[in-house]
Amino acid sequence: MLSERKEKITIPSDEYNQKRMLRSLFNIRMPKPVSDEFLQIQDEYLQEENRRKGITDIADLEPIQKGIYLWQGDITTLKCGAIVNAANSQMLGCFNPCDGCIDNAIHTFAGVQLRRDCNEIMKKQGYDEPTGQAKLTPAYNLPCKYVIHTVGPIVSGRLTQEDRDLLKSCYLSCLKLAEEKSVDSIAFCCISTGVFGFPQREAAQIAVDTVKEYKEESHSDIKVIFNVFKESDLAIYRGVLTNE
């Protein structure tokens, strides 16, 4: 990967900064061919990194309601059918080195194959991914089987009904696509919150209501995990799910 760079790069002497440099190179690398030798080394490294972080299997989780789970942790360590990525409209992942967004983490620990696949999807589509839809890719080096990518609404200023409808569409699109592909479990991140500006509590209410309505109306047995990272989101989802 260093050989692809035109500028001279000095490799740090310590492991922590070496790993940050490698992640940065993953993040800024454009989708282009890569050798089988590189992929073998990359895959072994990423699978070991994921193992070191600790993998959580949905089979070991207790549902908070029938078929619905609430779990706090790093979504890239979750072993289930599919995890949902809060993508941008270009669908190529985050190019900002070591950014803390979920898009960056998922693309980093899945491997460079994920950006390649997303690029192929977008080239065939020929236009940016619309808000509220969903696309599915393999998860490669992540412990889940698939990644489902969806673009949530960006809220600037007052929250509108269109924003609410688009967020609901994200959840419905992901659920329907998962079932089309016979995925038996799906983990949702907090779509559109954070830098996308959707108020956390209302986003959680829409997420929970949409999942419950879908499961009731379609008689679906798909298991749904609401994944949170921050304590504030954990409290909000717990309150929504237990009507507190």
Phi and psi for 166 in degrees, rounded to 5?
Answer: -70, -40
pLDDT per residue as tens digits for the range 76-89: 999 999 999 999 99
Give yes or no for residue 120 having a pLDDT over 80.
yes
Task: Give the model's pLDDT for residue 11.
Answer: 83
What b/e string do you get for 141-164 counting C-beta neighbours within 10 Å, with b at 16 or more?
Answer: bbbbbbbbbbbbbebeeebeeebb
The CA distance from 155 to 19, in Å, is 34
Task: Give the model's pLDDT for residue 237.
Answer: 97
Query: Whole-prediction pTM value?
Result: 0.94
How much of the chain, in percent, has pLDDT values that exceed 90?
Answer: 91
Q: Where would I find the beta strands (DSSP E) of the chain?
A: 56-57, 68-72, 78-79, 82-86, 134-138, 146-150, 185-188, 223-228
Task: Give the model's pLDDT for residue 3.
Answer: 57
| Helices and strands per DSSP (H, E), number in the chain | 7, 8
pLDDT per residue as tens digits for the range 41-76: 999 999 999 999 999 999 999 999 999 999 999 999
The CA distance from 119 to 91, in Å, is 7
The CA distance from 222 to 64, in Å, is 15
**Mean pLDDT confidence for 231-241:** 96
The CA distance from 30 to 91, in Å, is 13
Structure tokens, 28: 């800024």
Instruction: Report whether 104 contacts 98 (CB < 8 A).
Output: yes
Task: Give the model's pLDDT for residue 2.
Answer: 52
Lowest mean pLDDT among 1-5, 15-19, 54-58, 169-173: 1-5
